[in-house]
Chain A
Amino acid sequence: MLVAGVDVGAATAKAVILSNGGIVGQAIVPTGDRVVTAAENATRLALQQAGLWKEGVDFKELFDFVISTGYGRHSVPFAMKAVTEIICHAKGAHFLLPTARTIIDIGGQDSKAISLDEKGNVSNFVMNDKCAAGTGRFLEVMAHVLNVPIEELGKIALTSNSPCQISSTCTIFAESEMVSLRAEGKPKEDLIAGIVKAVASRVAVMARGIGFRRDVVFTGGVAKNIGVKKALEEEIQMNIIVPAEPQTMGALGAALLAQAELG
């Protein structure tokens, strides 16, 4: 039984392939300007990793079931069903960590907090509304302004002893605030620590609406940022678990749901 989960997010497209219940391939590619191409590329790379790729293969014929998720979920032509990323993240996280009861997911354009029951079903959720604050995009904008690779932000933040206070919750205003702090000569690590703290604080405030229950799992691309993880732990006063590959959690959940479709 070969199934796939394809998660087309705002920044990246992810695919996970399950063969008889086991993960055999997974891939992440930038979404770029074409959702369909990104979904196909991620699936192709995952198939290559699984050693199942053949030129000219028809995904619809190859897979027994495919579920798409993420912002582009309704545009994946070879998916048989579309499910929201909130449900997929819950399934994926519960599969890897059955003790997970709260998920904090920070992606490229949104952030979510999800409450799970013991079966991995969503019991409550909250999602950022219209604002980029508290998302990966916020970090991208700030990394760009400071001319620091996005992957380095977390590590640099941990070296700060005196994080700056970024009080604006709006990405645009926070950027102005940071530019002013930079003009005042604040060290780069303090600026970056202030930025990750601002993201963590924003998300924690939002997530308090549903409450935190152990175990708390952090998923999405921003979970790779160790600075945000630490700042979140300080905010909520709990340990946070980051899975080995937090970015593919939605795709994994979609693949698990695809498998469940076949009974």
Chain B
Amino acid sequence: MYSQFLQSCGFEAEEIRKESSRIDRAFHIAGLGPEDIERAQWRIRKYFDTTLLGVRQSLKIWLKRFTDLVLAREEGRKIIVYPSWPPEPRIVSMVAMASEDVFCETPEIVMDVVLGQIFDKINPVLEAGEEHGLPPGLAMCALNQARLGGIVKGVVPVPDMTITTSFFCDQTPKTDELLHELYGVRNIFLDNCMDAAWDEPVEVAPRCVSYFAAEIRRVIKEFEEAAGVTLSEERLREARAAYARPIFVYQEIMQMLKEADPQPISQVDLGLLYWLIQAPEQKSLKEGLAISNNFAREIKARIESGYGVVAKGAPKIAWFCHHATDPGVMRMVEQTGLAIPVTAVIWTPPWLRIKSEFTTFAERVADQTVRGGINRSTKGIIEFFKRCCKEFNVDGFLYLYFFSCRPICFSALMVKKAIEKELGIPVLALEGDVWDTRSYSVEALKTRVETFAELLRSRKLLEARR
């Protein structure tokens, strides 16, 4: 059964022979037994399309990442943890590429994909986080509880250092403060200009870039000292490029999905790739480009053959936030006959596609990050979603928003109003922490989603008749 499970996740016989003792050890530490593996196999069959090479390769990398994470301390590696939201992968990729001895990871994302999406066994980790200082509602989203709970449960080794930002999620630094209090983990805090007025446009004042760039330079220096490495400007640029290449392929995939009818792939499958390249570590940085290319090739072939996961002509929606820990939610939405060409959080807005005028690594990273729109003012968030809906010419917007995430819950209904009024398309706003399956269920969401799908179909039909 164990080998069968690994095979379904894309492992070759030789890899299974080579890796199984490590995976076995990691599963043992994480408390994953035969029943869990059986359930995971069932879930993979149900939710993921393993006929796609890209999906199998992604599942394999996720299991390898999980194994590396759990065993990092035993295997004598220095562990550096970086924030999951917003992921600051350009900095992290630099860290990850610095040395093979330094293991740099975002544990909560790995646990969400492996323990959550694949095994459906993340709740004990979240509960451990809740019991140790992040009770429900306080953590903004369950990623923070997972970040803490994984360590409490002993699934994730106590890291040597955490790097934290706060320009979107101001809870991660608080979580890392807690990690310092409980385990003495050293934290490097990457500060940013958090003084955007709520209606500040998406354009960013140069002072914000300068300030953030200076912060990045400071963090690099601190990291160099802690890890005992030297990072040249050239090395940093290489790291940035290594991170960006698969992201460019992902953007090409999004371009394909924008035009495709029927939708050729489920967003559940694409979600595996998204986090793999968006929040990478060494393995993902090395193999992410090849996996992204395989996804692109397979999607292109499906489009050419007319293959679809929803019917041709189905109403299209943009989705926010991103892939839920329960893949059944997105599958359910697609099963109601709605095509999801874009999950808005993944989309790159036009103002990020402009080449940066800055020249150094730190300035370019800072420029791109603070120009993100969604990372800044409320007006920036609203503009971001509006542009995304417009570019993908969607028939509706499904906004699954976090009720306790300060930046998101504040703007949720403003986004709904703005899109409905200015773009004239319906918005379904649903409340729930996508990272916590205890806060939503497919059954509870079904009635609203089915009605929304029916509403969009009727509108589409009416428009066609006109």
Residue numbers in B under 8 Å from A130 (CB-CB): 431, 439, 444
CB distance from A85 to the nearest CB of B (A): 7
The 8 Å CB contact of B451, one of A71, A122, A129, A209, is A122
Nearest residue, chain B, Cβ from A71: B447
**Cβ contact within 8 Å between B431 and A122:** no
B426 contacts partner chain A, Cβ-Cβ < 8 Å: yes
- A-B interface contact total, Cβ < 8 Å: 33
A81-106 contact mask (Cβ, 8 Å, vs B): 1 or 0: 00111110000000000000000000
Inter-chain CA distance A122–B426, complex, in Å, is 11
CB distance from B326 to the nearest CB of A (A): 15
Residue numbers in A under 8 Å from B431 (CB-CB): 129-130
Residue numbers in A under 8 Å from B454 (CB-CB): 83-84, 87, 122
Residue numbers in B under 8 Å from A37 (CB-CB): none
A63-90 contact mask (Cβ, 8 Å, vs B): 1 or 0: 0000000010000000000011111000
**Cβ contact within 8 Å between B444 and A84:** no
**Cβ contact within 8 Å between B426 and A124:** yes
Residue numbers in B under 8 Å from A209 (CB-CB): 413
A160 contacts partner chain B, Cβ-Cβ < 8 Å: no
B458 contacts partner chain A, Cβ-Cβ < 8 Å: yes
Number of B residues whose C-beta is below 8 Å from A? 13
Segment 93-132 of A: residues with Cβ below 8 Å from B: 110, 121-125, 127, 129-130
Residue numbers in A under 8 Å from B25 (CB-CB): none
CB distance from B311 to the nearest CB of A (A): 16
**Cβ contact within 8 Å between B426 and A85:** no
**Known contacts being A124-B426, A129-B431, is A84 close to B458, with CB within 8 Å?**
no
**Cβ contact within 8 Å between A84 and B426:** no
Judged by DSSP, the binding face of B is helix
Residue numbers in B under 8 Å from A110 (CB-CB): 447
The 8 Å CB contact of B447, one of A86, A121, A122, A124, is A86
CB distance from B419 to the nearest CB of A (A): 13
B418-441 contact mask (Cβ, 8 Å, vs A): 1 or 0: 000000001000110000000100
The 8 Å CB contact of B455, one of A71, A123, A127, is A123
Residue numbers in A under 8 Å from B451 (CB-CB): 84, 86-87, 122, 125
Nearest residue, chain B, Cβ from A90: B451
Residue numbers in B under 8 Å from A129 (CB-CB): 430-431
Q: Which residues of A contact B (CB under 8 A)?
A: 71, 83-87, 110, 121-125, 127, 129-130, 209
**A-B residue pairs, 7 tightest by C-beta:** A86-B451, A84-B451, A84-B450, A84-B447, A129-B431, A122-B455, A121-B458
Q: Which residues of B contact A (CB under 8 A)?
A: 413, 426, 430-431, 439, 444, 447-448, 450-451, 454-455, 458
Show 30 A/B contacts (Cβ-Cβ < 8 Å), sorted by A.
Answer: A71-B447, A83-B454, A84-B447, A84-B450, A84-B451, A84-B454, A86-B447, A86-B448, A86-B451, A87-B451, A87-B454, A110-B447, A121-B455, A121-B458, A122-B451, A122-B454, A122-B455, A122-B458, A123-B455, A124-B426, A125-B448, A125-B451, A127-B447, A127-B448, A129-B430, A129-B431, A130-B431, A130-B439, A130-B444, A209-B413
Q: A122-B455, A129-B431 are in contact. List 20 more A-B contacts (CB 8 A).
A: A71-B447, A83-B454, A84-B447, A84-B450, A84-B451, A84-B454, A85-B447, A86-B447, A86-B451, A87-B451, A110-B447, A122-B451, A122-B458, A124-B426, A125-B455, A127-B448, A129-B430, A130-B439, A130-B444, A209-B413
